[in-house]
Structure 1
Amino acid sequence: MLKSLLYYVFKVIIWFSSKLSDKNLYRCSNIIKVVLYNLLGYRKQVVIKNLRMSFPVKSAAEIALLAEKYYQHLSDLIMETLASYSWSREKLATHFKFTNLGVLQPYLEQKKRMVGVSAHFGNFEIGAILIPSQLKVPGYAIYRPLANPKLEQWMYKKRTRSGLTIVPSKELRPMIEKMSSPGILFLLADQNPSIIQKAYWVNFLNRDTAFVHGPANVAKEHNMPILFFDSKRVKRGYYESEISVLVDDPTKYTHQQITEMFAKKLEHILQERPDDWLWSHKRWKWAKINEEIVRI
């Protein structure tokens, strides 16, 4: 009963969001930002701590400004994502573009399967959905199914409406075996590892950081080149993702080296554009102290 109620409440919110003009959509975003940042202080301590440790040379005033910009970004992301569930594929494509598509051509001609890696910046939800339709190549991704069956069924339909194939993470291996050639497996590779014992450790933003093992493992096991998707905001509500080659031949590198290449690329981007990453995420739950992994 409760799950059904939540489903219909969510549908009403989606309907309401779909009726808003751009101007009113961002008025709602501004209100959400005030609620999250000024009134509730949602994960404010986490955000401030993450920013301070990542940018130690910045003053308290600069950190506070970054935090406020982040909450505005988060609020925009919430409203844009809600509204986007009712958008057509054509309207989605006006809000998110991929650039530097030429780097794909050699791999398409060779009918190569590829790994596409990115992080939680820009509007990653819209970007992933559009990979098959904009890149003209089959796209695959993993996701975490929702506990609410009705909502899960509805979300699945929305996320796959442009041809993206998605499966739960536990079904990754069989999905890879069924991937088309060419095809792109899209992975967000900046989150906390679910299996810390398999993580690769890299110095990232001034501290040892655990990274997921998936991208490097998949690339090396299946000899798949790795493409990096750098998604950024062009203006409010509009994004573009520049594609570049991170690893052309994974057999030439170790798993650790590939992970370090991703981390270095991500760190460089965050130094330039720090306010639209997911700073409220408890990214540094784990630490390495005297070679021992501990939860902090």
Structure 2
Amino acid sequence: MGKKDSNKITKVMLNKHRIEYFVFIIFGKLLTIFGFHSIKSTSKILAFLFFHIFKIRRQIVLNNLTIAFPKLTSSEINKLAYKNYKSIATTFLEIFSYKKLTKEDMKNIFSNKNFHIILEKYNENKGLIILTAHFGNWEYGAVATGLHLNLGINVLVKRQKNPYVAKWLNGFREQYDNVQINLGVSVRELYKTITDKKIVGIVGDQRGKRDGIKVNFFGQTTRTFPGTAAIAIKTQCPVLVMFCARQNDGNYEAIIEEINHLEFQGTKEEKIQQFNQKYMSILEKSIRKYPEQWFWMHNIWKY
């Protein structure tokens, strides 16, 4: 391929990304035109469209819920699935609306009663990993944690293909001294961040590869990635699992539990399996309490 052909492809991709970004921004502005307090009603409209009309990943959601909650009737599964679409729509509308919130607004929608647990572990001066999941509003959780503790969180995220959308998301994620680390960064750099006594936030509920770490999740086997567990075990830093659960009034409460991996026994591989199983068990417990708030669109039991 010649240089001219390469430049032409690059130009086409940039134009495509600009169009996608334009649609992204216009769509977001239209949906949030009436402000933060219109989110509840707008989320119902989006849930109806994506669940009943466009049926985006609907069958995966229904299948997952049927596996996780076998005692529910078909009608109950459908009602729960619709609530899940509404919760996901609420999360994304909140993200689109972030510029309408002041620093105090962001702090006030999060109860601070459990954040002292994070501060206590951070003050051990060993670095800290906060493991979260696609639960409630995980994006707001990272921002609110940094705000309440007055500490910058180093958030590990997947790099966006569209550079314009990525820049917009970066503006949201890097508010109030938070720092974004792109997924794919070298293990050495991530290791250094922790050994420098900093806080790293990681979303840990993605399905692993076919040969990944086996764990039990809602009575079924799934696969998980070994990376976070391996780094935690190597650095011996404390690890907290934190989920941001949406309450009936639209505010959030942080659910926080420690993974005390120093108690795990066996080989390195066995410790990693125990670590991942503990994380997934904590996640399952929170999902059972707030079943509509997890991202059931993951094909979590593919393997």
Q: Same fold (TM over 0.5)?
A: yes
Match of 2:235 among 204, 214, 222: 222
Alignment CA distance shift 1:149-1:23 (3 Å) = closer
Gaps of 5+ in 1: 287-296
Match of 2:41 among 12, 16, 27: 27
More moved, 265-274 vs 117-126: 265-274
Contact 1:14 / 1:86 at 8 angstroms: preserved in 2? no
C-alpha displacement of 1:208: 0.7
Q: Are 1:267 and 2:280 an aligned pair?
A: no
Contact 2:154 / 2:201 at 8 angstroms: preserved in 1? yes
C-alpha displacement of 1:107: 2.9
State the TM-score, normalized to the length of structure 2.
0.85
Contact 1:14 / 1:85 at 8 angstroms: preserved in 2? no
More moved, 258-267 vs 137-146: 137-146
Identity among equivalent pairs (%): 22
Q: Are 1:119 and 2:133 an aligned pair?
A: yes
Secondary structure of the residue that 1:111 maps to in structure 2? coil
Alignment CA distance shift 1:164-1:267 (3 Å) = same
Cα separation, 2, equivalents of 1:263 and 1:24 = 34
C-alpha displacement of 1:168: 1.4
Secondary structure of the residue that 2:257 maps to in structure 1? strand
More moved, 82-91 vs 167-176: 82-91
How large is the Cα RMSD of the aligned pairs? Answer: 2.2
Contact 2:98 / 2:172 at 8 angstroms: preserved in 1? no
Cα separation, 2, equivalents of 1:19 and 1:161 = 22
C-alpha displacement of 1:220: 0.4
One-letter amino acid matched to 1:277: W
Quote the residue 1:192 is aligned against.
207
C-alpha displacement of 1:18: 4.8
C-alpha displacement of 1:182: 3.6
Cα separation, 2, equivalents of 1:22 and 1:152 = 23
Contact 2:229 / 2:275 at 8 angstroms: preserved in 1? yes
Quote the residue 2:299 is aligned against.
282
Alignment CA distance shift 1:30-1:39 (3 Å) = same
Per-residue Cα deviation, 1:86-110 (whole angstroms, up to 9, x for no partner): 5333322222344323323443333
Quote the residue 2:244 is aligned against.
231
Match of 1:152 among 162, 166, 180: 166
Contact 1:139 / 1:184 at 8 angstroms: preserved in 2? yes
Q: Are 1:142 and 2:156 an aligned pair?
A: yes
C-alpha displacement of 1:219: 0.5
Secondary structure of the residue that 2:176 maps to in structure 1? coil
Indicate the structure with greater strand content: 1
Q: How does 1:1-296 map to 2 (within 5 A)?
A: 1-173=15-187, 174-179=189-194, 181-193=196-208, 195-197=209-211, 199-247=212-260, 249=262, 254-286=271-303
Secondary structure of the residue that 1:61 maps to in structure 2? helix
Contact 1:117 / 1:226 at 8 angstroms: preserved in 2? yes
Secondary structure of the residue that 2:297 maps to in structure 1? coil
Gaps of 5+ in 2: 1-14
Cα separation, 1, equivalents of 2:36 and 2:102 = 16
Alignment CA distance shift 1:181-1:97 (3 Å) = farther
One-letter amino acid matched to 2:118: L
One-letter amino acid matched to 1:264: S
More moved, 276-285 vs 145-154: 145-154
